[in-house]
Amino acid sequence: MMGEEKAAELMSQVGKSSYIFIVDNCESTVEELRKKGVKILMEPQTQPYGTQAIIADLYGNSFVLREPPI
């Protein structure tokens, strides 16, 4: 069982995490997730390092979807 201090520390991180997921096709992945009700924070954009979008979970954590350049 965790103590109150550790629990408070973990709760303070909710909504502040960001993770990168490599996907094969960023645009189609975003469309599939949109149909399932996922919140899209940033539509797919092409950058020198690939195409990326940002989504959020129910707790405000953001996730980067990145498709590497061809």
CA distance 26 to 51: 7
Give per-residue pLDDT as tens, 18-70.
789 999 999 999 999 999 999 999 999 999 999 999 999 888 889 999 999 98
What is this structure's pTM? Answer: 0.75
pLDDT at 48: 92
pLDDT at 21: 95
pLDDT at 36: 96
pLDDT at 68: 96
- Max alpha carbon distance in the chain (Å)? 48
Residue 41 and residue 54 in contact, taking contact as beta carbons nearer than 8 Å: yes
CA distances from 10 to 2, 16, 56, 61 (A): 10, 11, 18, 13
Examine the pLDDT at 5 and tell me if it is beyond 90.
no
> For residue 3, how many other CB atoms are within 10 A of its CB?
8
Q: Which domains does the chain have, with CATH numbers?
A: 15-67 (3.10.180.10)
Instruction: Provide the 3-class DSSP secondary structure of residue 3.
Output: coil
At position 51, the amino acid (one-letter code) is T
